[in-house]
Amino acid sequence: MDRRCFLATVGSLLPTAAAGCLSGGAPSGNDAAYGVAELPAARIAMTPVEDVALAERVTYSVDESEDRAELLDRILDGGATVERTRPPLPEGRHINYRDAVYVLDHEVVETTPGTTYSVRVDILQETVTDSRSIGFSDLPAVDRERFAAKGLADGDPVGVGTAFHYTDAETEASVLVPESEYEAIVWENGSEAEWIVDDSYDAPLYAYEYAIEEVATVAEYGRRMREAVAFELTDLPSAQREVVEAAISTKSGYSVGPDETVPDAVRSLAERFRDRKQAHALDGTGEDDLDGRYLVDYDGTVYWTQLSVREERLATATAAE
């Protein structure tokens, strides 16, 4: 095997609703034979959701185990300045972290010219003369730091493609970029790796100064969102109620097959969603079309509801009546 290549980041029928079915069954006919599943004509899935879980669904979340959590902690402690080629955290987005929702603001206070290099630390295929190789310990500190940051300082390369960033001053101190007189790197344990610079592009280093503001606790955020967009499904005919009950009781929801006629109950139920607000974070807006995510209050419980309808099938069904 050529190891020079490198790693890249890389149902059941309802008695009243007739054509509707509980989704999750296998594709049939030619779709199954070719491994292609056609989209259903209509689908409704409903999952109970509490206020906290609701906020978590629509906000930008940062897990406490992430590196960015340390940055958020610093910002919460009174602000922080961090150097990156791009913002490490979104500005203006509602961010869910440690039981609260925050909004960040940043200002670029300094810009340092720099370059990102696409490089390979590859398996050595041919013998390289001593004059074209360099010991890892002999590399300038700026180069060794780049290897360490990518977990490549131990001398165990396995055909890795990655990116190294250098400021202009660091490039001047490097022996590996922009062009290297060395083709191989040798570690003290005898490991060897081919060094290749494939490409480069300008990438200034920005100093971002962050400020933060709390929007609400996660629970309060979910409550506000529920009060803003949730709507009740009430006074449903029995056929529509059966569709809703199926959408709730089955994990994958209630669906109408791609070749099936959309039942009257499903079409009428879908129309109840048409002028409703879609579920969205408090800093955003929902989509304008019928397909989307909604908050539905049904029999005293709020459900995260996903509605998918092929409008042309609704129109076809209506015209055929």
The tokens describing 16, both together, are 């009243």
Long-range contacts made by residues 74-80, C-beta under 8 angstroms, separation at least 24? Answer: 75/104, 75/210, 75/211, 75/212, 76/102, 76/212, 79/209, 79/210, 79/211, 79/212, 80/209, 80/210
Supply the pLDDT for residue 191: 87
Q: Residue 127: what pLDDT?
A: 77
In sequence order, the 6+-apart residues with CB closer than 8 A to the CB of 321 are none
Alpha helix segments (H runs only) across the chain: 29-34, 51-58, 67-76, 141-149, 168-173, 218-229, 238-249, 264-271, 311-320
- Phi then psi for residue 67, to 5 deg, are -60, -35
Vertex 49 angle, CA 21 and 214, to 5°? 145
Q: Where are the domains of the chain?
A: 20-57+217-320, 114-203
Angle between helices 311-320 and 264-271 (to 10 degrees): 130
pLDDT of residue 157: 61
Distance, CA of 166 to CA of 146 (rounded, Å): 9
How many whole angstroms separate alpha carbon 183 and alpha carbon 197?
Answer: 10
Each residue's pLDDT expressed in tens, for the chain with a length of 321 residues? 443 333 333 333 333 444 444 443 334 344 444 344 678 899 999 999 999 999 999 999 998 888 899 999 999 998 799 999 999 998 889 999 999 999 999 999 999 999 999 999 988 877 778 889 999 999 999 999 999 999 999 887 667 899 999 999 999 999 999 999 899 999 988 888 999 999 999 999 999 999 999 999 999 999 999 999 999 999 999 999 999 999 999 989 999 998 898 999 999 999 999 989 999 999 887 667 789 999 999 999 999 999 998 766 555 544 444
Using CB atoms within 10 Å of the CB of residue 29, give its burial: 0 to 12 exposed, 13 to 18 middle, 19+ buried: exposed
**Cβ contact 55:280 at 8 Å:** no
Phi first, then psi: what are they for 257, rounded to 5°? Answer: -55, 155
DSSP letter assigned to residue 67: H
Nearest CA-CA partner of 20 in 293, 265, 238, 235 = 265
Question: What is the Cα–Cα distance from 122 to 1, expressed in whole angstroms?
Answer: 14
Distance, C-alpha 37 to centroid of its chain:
24
Tokens representing residue 21 in the block: 């079915």
Assess contact for 219 and 49: CB atoms under 8 A.
no
